[in-house]
Structure 1
């Protein structure tokens, strides 16, 4: 009997200690929907949180500290029966080795988010076909996008398998003509365009720089001597000069620059840059992100 109890406790502790791949928070803001049943939005919020955190997206069991911290913030603009029109902000961060600092992986807003939802319905993901309601499809797409970004930051190009999952979801979404946000034409910054750019061989350098930026740079940035880490980040960013004539309409590229702009500015704003020619990086960042020229790049000394 004692052996059975010990075995039960061991299995219980194993299940408590291990969980799925994401640690996500979810917010559903329904303030714009006057007179609507607010309880339905609370149920939706909890259902989405459980769906994201409890679905086995990769088949791996991870300890709590290994899970990817992410946030899904949905703002509902209108409701017509069971159809909702909304926007969604998707964010994820990555821990930096030896510190409590978390580096942003992705921070985007998707304004083409219409979906159908019935209170208390089961949310079940099927990668082989479109759900017909668009809710779990959009959420699942961004989950795999986050998994891909995270994997790429730890091992060069290792996010491909998860990006391909996202691409399959996008292709499923394109197969219907009911919901916006999946088209490859006449919808700038669509989900299909984003994942297509990520997997385009022409963007391999950006993905390679993304890896070097994090593993060679950020994970060593908090050493006593920051020279090598800053040089790795500088070199990774300067490698992106190859896109100077093609980045303007590239969603993937501009998303990287926007997500990382604050971090890049802060890294090189310390005045201790180990002989790096900061003016070269400044010139490049003014080209890539001119909207930040006055409040960031021109402040570098």
Structure 2
């Protein structure tokens, strides 16, 4: 009986490790534009939802429980010309934690350089070899592959590399056009090209390795009766961020990780049952690298 249970668990974990398509929700808010053409914005919302959920991004066909849950929230603020729009987009994705109902945030970011062209009910078709010329498909596809990369990295060490490479190609296509904001590697801090460049940089190998151990050896074992080993794995992994002490202020990828995981990290260690872990070093490191949460989180930790 135990052998059957072990086999089931192994198959379950393997299924999770290849969770490589999306189950996305999309919202388009155009209230700031006014006017009566709300149908066009609803059409855009539906077109994007169908585009994200129905495109075969990885060549895998999965059941819904295997897909990556994510959300794209778009706020349109300007319409500078016919079929032209500007605004911002919030991209979010979560990952299930093994043997629980808890979902851990993989990525949660806001991109304020969201500009594009769109004709109502036009077909949205992704071509990774060239820039679309309208930017909408390119931006959405970029973030789709970033999400897939984050998800795969959380189940296998550097498992997201194939999807990050596709995101990098999209960024290079966008940058070569020099038409839309957010793709340039200079004079646009916290842009899409910077994010994917940092993720793919050899200097970020330590953080990508941490991303894997944090989730698979840490979170996925955190809800065992004895949490000591899982907490120790997360603690030791986070201390490895000292590698980036000298340049963390310019590091978009690292900053996103700390912003997205701050609540979770705080809650993991905000107890009297930390298995003898001394939080002093981690507390000081996070106060340095994530000072905005010092008063609300790191200073509140029990020693």
User: Normalised by the size of structure 2, how large is the TM-score?
Assistant: 0.92
In structure 1, the partner of 2:282 is: 281
1:20 Cα deviation after fit: 7.7
1:35 Cα deviation after fit: 1.3
Query: Aligned-residue CA RMSD in angstroms?
Result: 1.0
Within 5 Å, which residues of 2 pair with 1:157-236?
157-236=158-237
Counterparts of 1:218 and 1:29, CA distance in 2: 35
Within 5 Å, which residues of 2 pair with 1:260-279?
260-279=261-280
Counterparts of 1:280 and 1:271, CA distance in 2: 17
In structure 2, the partner of 1:68 is: 68
Counterparts of 2:212 and 2:20, CA distance in 1: 24
Secondary structure of the residue aligned to 1:62 is coil
In structure 1, the partner of 2:31 is: 31
Counterparts of 2:66 and 2:129, CA distance in 1: 28
Secondary structure of the residue aligned to 1:206 is helix
1:67 Cα deviation after fit: 0.2
Counterparts of 1:262 and 1:243, CA distance in 2: 21
Secondary structure of the residue aligned to 1:32 is helix
User: Normalised by the size of structure 1, how large is the TM-score?
Assistant: 0.93
Counterparts of 1:253 and 1:292, CA distance in 2: 15
Structure 1's consecutive aligned runs of 4 or more residues displaced over 2 angstroms after TM superposition are none
Matched, 1:296 2:297: yes
Counterparts of 1:177 and 1:239, CA distance in 2: 37
1:271 Cα deviation after fit: 2.0
Counterparts of 2:205 and 2:301, CA distance in 1: 29
Contact 2:20 2:68 in 1 (8 A): no
Counterparts of 2:291 and 2:101, CA distance in 1: 31
Which segments of 5 or more consecutive residues in structure 2 lack a partner in the other structure? 1-18
Contact 1:142 1:166 in 2 (8 A): yes
Deviations 1:167-209 (A, max 9, x none): 0000000111211000001110110111000000000000000
Counterparts of 1:234 and 1:279, CA distance in 2: 11
In structure 2, the partner of 1:5 is: none
Counterparts of 1:285 and 1:184, CA distance in 2: 28
Contact 1:28 1:76 in 2 (8 A): yes
Report the count of equivalent residues.
283
Deviations 1:110-135 (A, max 9, x none): 00010000000000000000000000
In structure 1, the partner of 2:122 is: 121
Contact 1:20 1:53 in 2 (8 A): no
